[in-house]
Chain A
């Protein structure tokens, strides 16, 4: 059995990797942008290193996700059904995974700086 602390860090690590890969960014690009050594990104994404609050904030802003999502995995409570009425209008027999894809991208766009 793994301890609860380790699990939380592991889950955070996986979400960080997932968020980076979703955007198609390399560890190098993230390291250069945030002015961090490349190995620190690798370690953060493998759960091998503690992440400072300021680092988490900068990662969340770069990936355009909420800190809450990175920590807990909770998707923001959104007005999904209303928001995506356009999908239902445009496509008959919607695929659930396609809706998820569009929702995730819309969330990313909303988090972009105005």
Chain B
């Protein structure tokens, strides 16, 4: 292994351990390493702005800062932020990136930052958590649907996910090459059974294996539930709890804007159900909200036969301005100065 790779990889391991990013995945149910969260732990300000050409920049001032292009897909924003964090942790000076994923003829600094970013976001340990929770083998990732769902939980693009598996030598470069010939748009269409979604919208498919997690879709994304179906023995999934938490959930086939009275309060899981939003829009972004369903026979008063599906969603903001962590710090400092 080349020397710069060893340095960057070791540093990434230290950062994962010392910031607690690894512990969040192991113990708190998070599925991904969040570079914006890591930046906040270091007092590095993160700003999302629309750029014409740049993908990101690292600015070393008395307070260091990272800029990322807000108009790029979330996966690319995460990887860019991780790359800029590489510049920060590796002690590099201010720099700007028109692209990331530098080739072997590029400046050593950039290759170092790239390697750090991959080691930070797509480590074996991080991937292994999701594989274990979902019951997937490496072979199961040859199904584009699984690879796509893994990429969402890791927080990188579908293509970056495929190449990460090759980088980790979990499969061959030819496998990654073959998998990336499939367009994510095709996979999304196959999940929804239709194509009426924006290009940047990702489609999350949640099943019974996604219990007790903190899933972090973007506010733009669509979240679909596919829970085990025991309707033949009279069991239905009750939506009461989720609705009382403020979530709006409707069958996938229902029209996008049904009258409020048409919303069902139970579903038999034969059809996929779609998380359509939250009654309080301000609560939707940047907060971790518990989401639970109970499976019961509607006519039974006794509760001992109930099954539960509980998980949490923390919708990631998509837009311009400081990251949630940076805003929190700014306001805290503002309070103490006032």
Contact = CB atoms under 8 A, between A and B. Distances in A.
Given A86-B93, A90-B98, A109-B63, A62 B52 contact: no
A68 B335 CA distance: 22
Contacts of A91: 53-54, 96, 98
Contacts of B97: 90
Nearest to B43: A112
Interface stretch (B12-20, B268-276, B318-326): B318-326
Contacts of A29: 327, 331
Contacts of B305: none
Contact of A101 (B49, B63, B319, B327): B49
Interface string A21-40: 11111000100111100000
A113 interface: yes
B337 A90 contact: no
Interface in B23-76: 45, 47, 49-54, 57, 59, 61-65, 67
Interface string B304-325: 0000000000000001111000
B53 A94 contact: yes
Nearest to A35: B338
A94 B54 CA distance: 9
Interface in B157-200: none
A2 interface: no
Interface string A80-114: 00000011011111110110011001101110111
Nearest to B94: A86
Nearest to A28: B282
B333 interface: yes
A86 B110 CA distance: 13
- Range of interface residues on B (Cβ < 8 Å): 20 to 34
A58 to B, nearest CB: 6
A49 interface: no
Contacts of B96: 86-87, 90-91, 98, 102
B338 A95 contact: no
B64 A33 contact: no
A25 B98 contact: no
A68 B198 CA distance: 43
Contacts of B49: 101, 105
A27 B239 CA distance: 34
B135 interface: no
Contacts of A102: 54, 57, 59, 67, 96
Interface in A15-73: 21-25, 29, 32-35, 58, 61-62, 64
B327 A109 contact: no
A106 to B, nearest CB: 5
Given A58-B337, A91-B98, A110 B61 contact: yes
B95 A109 contact: no
A105 B65 contact: yes
Contact of B47 (A62, A95, A105): A105
B60 to A, nearest CB: 9
A73 to B, nearest CB: 20
Contacts of A64: 330
Interface of B: 45, 47, 49-54, 57, 59, 61-65, 67, 93-98, 319-322, 327, 330-331, 333-335, 337-338
Interface of A: 21-25, 29, 32-35, 58, 61-62, 64, 86-87, 89-95, 97-98, 101-102, 105-106, 108-110, 112-114
30 contacts: A22-B321, A23-B321, A23-B327, A23-B330, A25-B321, A25-B322, A25-B330, A29-B331, A33-B338, A58-B338, A61-B337, A86-B93, A86-B95, A86-B96, A87-B57, A91-B54, A95-B52, A95-B53, A97-B52, A101-B49, A101-B54, A102-B59, A102-B96, A105-B57, A105-B65, A108-B47, A109-B59, A110-B61, A110-B62, A113-B337
**9 nearest A-B pairs in the assembled complex, by CB-CB distance:** A24-B321, A112-B63, A109-B61, A95-B52, A62-B334, A90-B96, A33-B334, A109-B65, A86-B94
Given A24-B322, A91-B53, A105-B65, 9 more contacts: A62-B338, A91-B54, A95-B52, A101-B49, A106-B61, A109-B62, A109-B63, A110-B61, A112-B62
